[in-house]
Amino acid sequence: MENNENVSYYNKIAKTYDSSRFNNSYGAFIHRQELAFLDKYVGKQDLSKHLDLGCGTGRFLDYAHYGIDPSDQMLALAIKKHPEKELKVTDGTATGFTDQQFEKIYSFHVMMHLDREVIRDIIKESHRLLKPGGALIFDYPSHKRRRLIHYNAASWHGATSMDLKDIKKLTGELFTVTYSRGFLFLPIHKFPIKIRSWFYGMDQLLCSSFLKYYSSYIAVILKKK
Protein backbone atom coordinates (compact mmCIF):
# COMPACT_ATOMS: atom_id res chain seq x y z
CA MET A 1 0.00 0.00 0.00
CA GLU A 2 1.22 3.50 -0.82
CA ASN A 3 2.57 5.89 1.82
CA ASN A 4 -0.13 8.02 3.52
CA GLU A 5 2.42 10.84 3.74
CA ASN A 6 2.79 10.65 -0.02
CA VAL A 7 -0.98 10.97 -0.56
CA SER A 8 -1.30 13.80 1.95
CA TYR A 9 1.50 15.73 0.27
CA TYR A 10 -0.10 15.53 -3.17
CA ASN A 11 -3.54 16.40 -1.82
CA LYS A 12 -2.07 19.62 -0.41
CA ILE A 13 -0.29 20.71 -3.59
CA ALA A 14 -2.89 19.49 -6.10
CA LYS A 15 -4.25 22.92 -7.03
CA THR A 16 -0.81 24.34 -7.84
CA TYR A 17 0.83 21.17 -9.12
CA ASP A 18 0.49 21.81 -12.87
CA SER A 19 1.53 25.45 -12.73
CA SER A 20 4.43 25.00 -10.31
CA ARG A 21 5.89 21.88 -11.91
CA PHE A 22 5.32 22.33 -15.64
CA ASN A 23 4.53 25.99 -16.34
CA ASN A 24 8.23 26.79 -16.67
CA SER A 25 11.00 26.02 -19.14
CA TYR A 26 12.47 23.15 -17.09
CA GLY A 27 9.13 21.42 -16.62
CA ALA A 28 8.22 22.02 -20.26
CA PHE A 29 11.50 20.42 -21.34
CA ILE A 30 10.90 17.10 -19.60
CA HIS A 31 7.19 17.16 -20.45
CA ARG A 32 8.10 17.41 -24.13
CA GLN A 33 10.47 14.43 -23.83
CA GLU A 34 7.85 12.34 -22.05
CA LEU A 35 5.17 13.13 -24.62
CA ALA A 36 7.52 12.15 -27.45
CA PHE A 37 8.16 8.84 -25.69
CA LEU A 38 4.46 8.16 -25.10
CA ASP A 39 3.61 9.07 -28.69
CA LYS A 40 6.07 6.46 -29.93
CA TYR A 41 5.63 3.63 -27.43
CA VAL A 42 2.06 3.96 -26.12
CA GLY A 43 0.13 5.88 -28.75
CA LYS A 44 -3.43 7.18 -28.81
CA GLN A 45 -5.11 4.18 -30.39
CA ASP A 46 -7.18 1.59 -28.48
CA LEU A 47 -7.31 3.78 -25.39
CA SER A 48 -9.80 1.43 -23.71
CA LYS A 49 -6.91 -1.03 -23.42
CA HIS A 50 -4.58 1.46 -21.68
CA LEU A 51 -4.26 2.38 -17.99
CA ASP A 52 -2.47 5.42 -16.57
CA LEU A 53 -1.34 4.21 -13.13
CA GLY A 54 -0.79 7.25 -10.92
CA CYS A 55 -2.39 9.67 -13.36
CA GLY A 56 -2.29 12.64 -10.97
CA THR A 57 -3.96 15.69 -12.53
CA GLY A 58 -4.20 13.95 -15.90
CA ARG A 59 -1.06 15.15 -17.63
CA PHE A 60 -0.85 11.95 -19.71
CA LEU A 61 -4.49 10.91 -19.97
CA ASP A 62 -4.55 11.52 -23.72
CA TYR A 63 -2.92 8.07 -23.93
CA ALA A 64 -5.43 6.05 -21.85
CA HIS A 65 -9.13 5.76 -21.17
CA TYR A 66 -8.58 4.55 -17.61
CA GLY A 67 -6.66 6.28 -14.84
CA ILE A 68 -6.09 5.76 -11.13
CA ASP A 69 -4.45 7.78 -8.38
CA PRO A 70 -4.47 7.52 -4.56
CA SER A 71 -4.83 11.31 -4.19
CA ASP A 72 -8.48 12.34 -4.43
CA GLN A 73 -7.51 16.00 -4.83
CA MET A 74 -5.19 15.33 -7.77
CA LEU A 75 -7.78 13.06 -9.36
CA ALA A 76 -10.52 15.67 -8.96
CA LEU A 77 -8.52 17.94 -11.27
CA ALA A 78 -8.00 15.12 -13.75
CA ILE A 79 -11.75 14.49 -13.83
CA LYS A 80 -12.39 18.16 -14.66
CA LYS A 81 -9.91 17.99 -17.53
CA HIS A 82 -11.06 14.61 -18.80
CA PRO A 83 -14.73 14.03 -17.90
CA GLU A 84 -14.97 11.38 -20.62
CA LYS A 85 -12.36 9.14 -18.97
CA GLU A 86 -12.97 6.43 -16.37
CA LEU A 87 -10.95 7.56 -13.37
CA LYS A 88 -10.98 6.40 -9.79
CA VAL A 89 -9.18 6.90 -6.51
CA THR A 90 -7.37 3.70 -5.69
CA ASP A 91 -4.00 2.22 -4.84
CA GLY A 92 -1.70 0.87 -7.55
CA THR A 93 -1.26 -2.36 -5.62
CA ALA A 94 -4.98 -3.22 -5.58
CA THR A 95 -6.74 -1.56 -8.50
CA GLY A 96 -10.00 -3.50 -8.65
CA PHE A 97 -9.80 -4.03 -12.40
CA THR A 98 -10.33 -7.47 -13.91
CA ASP A 99 -7.61 -9.91 -14.94
CA GLN A 100 -5.98 -9.24 -18.31
CA GLN A 101 -8.02 -6.09 -18.90
CA PHE A 102 -5.23 -4.00 -20.44
CA GLU A 103 -2.60 -4.15 -23.15
CA LYS A 104 -0.53 -1.24 -21.85
CA ILE A 105 -0.04 0.21 -18.38
CA TYR A 106 2.17 3.25 -17.93
CA SER A 107 3.23 5.09 -14.80
CA PHE A 108 5.39 8.23 -14.69
CA HIS A 109 6.85 10.00 -11.65
CA VAL A 110 5.32 7.40 -9.34
CA MET A 111 7.82 4.64 -8.53
CA MET A 112 10.39 7.21 -7.43
CA HIS A 113 8.28 8.00 -4.35
CA LEU A 114 7.71 4.39 -3.24
CA ASP A 115 9.79 1.81 -1.45
CA ARG A 116 10.77 -1.31 -3.33
CA GLU A 117 8.27 -3.56 -1.60
CA VAL A 118 5.42 -1.38 -2.85
CA ILE A 119 6.97 -1.19 -6.32
CA ARG A 120 7.13 -4.99 -6.37
CA ASP A 121 3.44 -5.17 -5.42
CA ILE A 122 2.52 -2.73 -8.20
CA ILE A 123 4.48 -4.84 -10.68
CA LYS A 124 2.60 -7.96 -9.55
CA GLU A 125 -0.75 -6.19 -9.85
CA SER A 126 0.20 -4.89 -13.31
CA HIS A 127 1.11 -8.41 -14.38
CA ARG A 128 -2.38 -9.55 -13.34
CA LEU A 129 -4.03 -6.73 -15.26
CA LEU A 130 -2.10 -7.13 -18.50
CA LYS A 131 -2.96 -9.41 -21.36
CA PRO A 132 -0.26 -11.90 -22.42
CA GLY A 133 2.54 -9.97 -24.07
CA GLY A 134 1.23 -6.69 -22.64
CA ALA A 135 3.56 -3.82 -21.69
CA LEU A 136 4.26 -2.19 -18.35
CA ILE A 137 6.03 1.16 -18.78
CA PHE A 138 7.43 3.33 -16.02
CA ASP A 139 10.29 5.65 -15.12
CA TYR A 140 12.62 5.97 -12.14
CA PRO A 141 15.59 8.12 -11.09
CA SER A 142 18.93 6.74 -12.27
CA HIS A 143 21.10 5.44 -9.43
CA LYS A 144 24.18 5.80 -11.64
CA ARG A 145 23.46 9.51 -12.14
CA ARG A 146 22.78 10.13 -8.47
CA ARG A 147 25.93 8.32 -7.43
CA LEU A 148 27.93 10.37 -9.96
CA ILE A 149 26.69 13.70 -8.62
CA HIS A 150 26.60 12.52 -4.97
CA TYR A 151 22.87 13.19 -4.66
CA ASN A 152 20.96 11.93 -1.62
CA ALA A 153 17.22 12.43 -1.26
CA ALA A 154 16.23 14.30 1.89
CA SER A 155 12.90 12.49 2.31
CA TRP A 156 10.62 9.95 0.63
CA HIS A 157 9.99 12.42 -2.21
CA GLY A 158 11.87 11.07 -5.22
CA ALA A 159 14.01 8.95 -2.92
CA THR A 160 13.97 5.65 -4.80
CA SER A 161 16.64 5.49 -7.48
CA MET A 162 17.47 2.26 -9.29
CA ASP A 163 19.58 0.62 -11.96
CA LEU A 164 18.43 -1.77 -14.66
CA LYS A 165 19.66 -4.72 -12.59
CA ASP A 166 17.31 -3.60 -9.80
CA ILE A 167 14.40 -3.58 -12.24
CA LYS A 168 15.22 -7.10 -13.35
CA LYS A 169 15.28 -8.27 -9.74
CA LEU A 170 11.94 -6.64 -9.01
CA THR A 171 10.24 -8.05 -12.07
CA GLY A 172 11.60 -11.56 -11.54
CA GLU A 173 9.85 -14.09 -13.73
CA LEU A 174 6.92 -11.80 -14.53
CA PHE A 175 8.39 -9.46 -17.16
CA THR A 176 11.21 -9.07 -19.66
CA VAL A 177 12.86 -5.68 -20.19
CA THR A 178 12.51 -4.90 -23.91
CA TYR A 179 13.58 -1.25 -24.06
CA SER A 180 15.07 1.52 -21.95
CA ARG A 181 16.05 5.14 -22.48
CA GLY A 182 16.79 8.24 -20.48
CA PHE A 183 15.17 11.60 -19.83
CA LEU A 184 17.14 14.75 -18.97
CA PHE A 185 20.79 13.98 -19.55
CA LEU A 186 21.99 17.58 -19.54
CA PRO A 187 21.69 19.72 -16.36
CA ILE A 188 19.06 21.88 -18.06
CA HIS A 189 18.11 23.59 -14.80
CA LYS A 190 21.57 25.19 -14.76
CA PHE A 191 21.27 26.59 -18.29
CA PRO A 192 19.98 30.14 -18.94
CA ILE A 193 16.19 29.96 -19.29
CA LYS A 194 16.10 31.53 -22.74
CA ILE A 195 18.34 28.89 -24.33
CA ARG A 196 17.15 25.70 -22.62
CA SER A 197 14.91 24.62 -25.52
CA TRP A 198 17.88 24.87 -27.92
CA PHE A 199 19.38 21.76 -26.33
CA TYR A 200 16.33 19.53 -26.68
CA GLY A 201 17.62 17.61 -29.71
CA MET A 202 21.06 17.08 -28.17
CA ASP A 203 19.53 15.86 -24.93
CA GLN A 204 17.28 13.42 -26.81
CA LEU A 205 20.31 11.95 -28.56
CA LEU A 206 22.29 11.58 -25.35
CA CYS A 207 19.32 10.00 -23.58
CA SER A 208 19.19 7.23 -26.18
CA SER A 209 22.96 6.76 -26.53
CA PHE A 210 25.33 4.42 -24.67
CA LEU A 211 25.40 7.11 -21.97
CA LYS A 212 21.64 6.90 -21.34
CA TYR A 213 21.91 5.30 -17.89
CA TYR A 214 23.52 8.51 -16.65
CA SER A 215 20.39 10.51 -17.51
CA SER A 216 18.38 11.91 -14.62
CA TYR A 217 15.57 9.43 -15.21
CA ILE A 218 15.28 6.10 -16.99
CA ALA A 219 12.13 4.81 -18.66
CA VAL A 220 11.69 1.08 -19.21
CA ILE A 221 9.28 -1.01 -21.22
CA LEU A 222 8.57 -4.42 -19.71
CA LYS A 223 6.84 -7.20 -21.62
CA LYS A 224 4.64 -9.63 -19.71
CA LYS A 225 5.94 -13.18 -19.95
> What's the total number of domains in the chain?
1
More confident residue, 80 or 4: 80
The per-residue pLDDT for 4 is: 81
CA distance 52 to 54: 6
Lay out the sheet containing 66-69: strands in order across: 86-89, 66-69, 50-53, 102-107, 130-141, 217-224, 175-183
CA distance 99 to 107: 19
The per-residue pLDDT for 66 is: 98
192-220 pLDDT, tens digit each: 999 999 999 999 999 999 999 999 999 99
Counting residues of the chain whose pLDDT is more than 70, the rounded percentage is 99
109-129 pLDDT, tens digit each: 999 999 999 999 999 999 999
Least confident of 4-13, 71-80, 124-133: 4-13
Nearest to 107 by CA among 87, 94, 92, 128: 92
Tell me, what DSSP letter sits at residue 209? Answer: S
> What is the domain extent for residue 8?
4-224
Examine the pLDDT at 35 and tell me if it is beyond 60. Answer: yes
Examine the pLDDT at 8 and tell me if it is beyond 60. Answer: yes
Full-model pTM: 0.95
SS3 content of the chain, % helix, strand, coil (to 5): 45, 25, 30
The per-residue pLDDT for 1 is: 53
Residues 150-178 have a mean pLDDT of 94
Least confident of 30-34, 169-173, 178-182: 169-173
Residues 37-63 have a mean pLDDT of 98
Q: Residue 164's domain is classified under what CATH number?
A: 3.40.50.150
More confident residue, 4 or 216: 216
The per-residue pLDDT for 110 is: 96
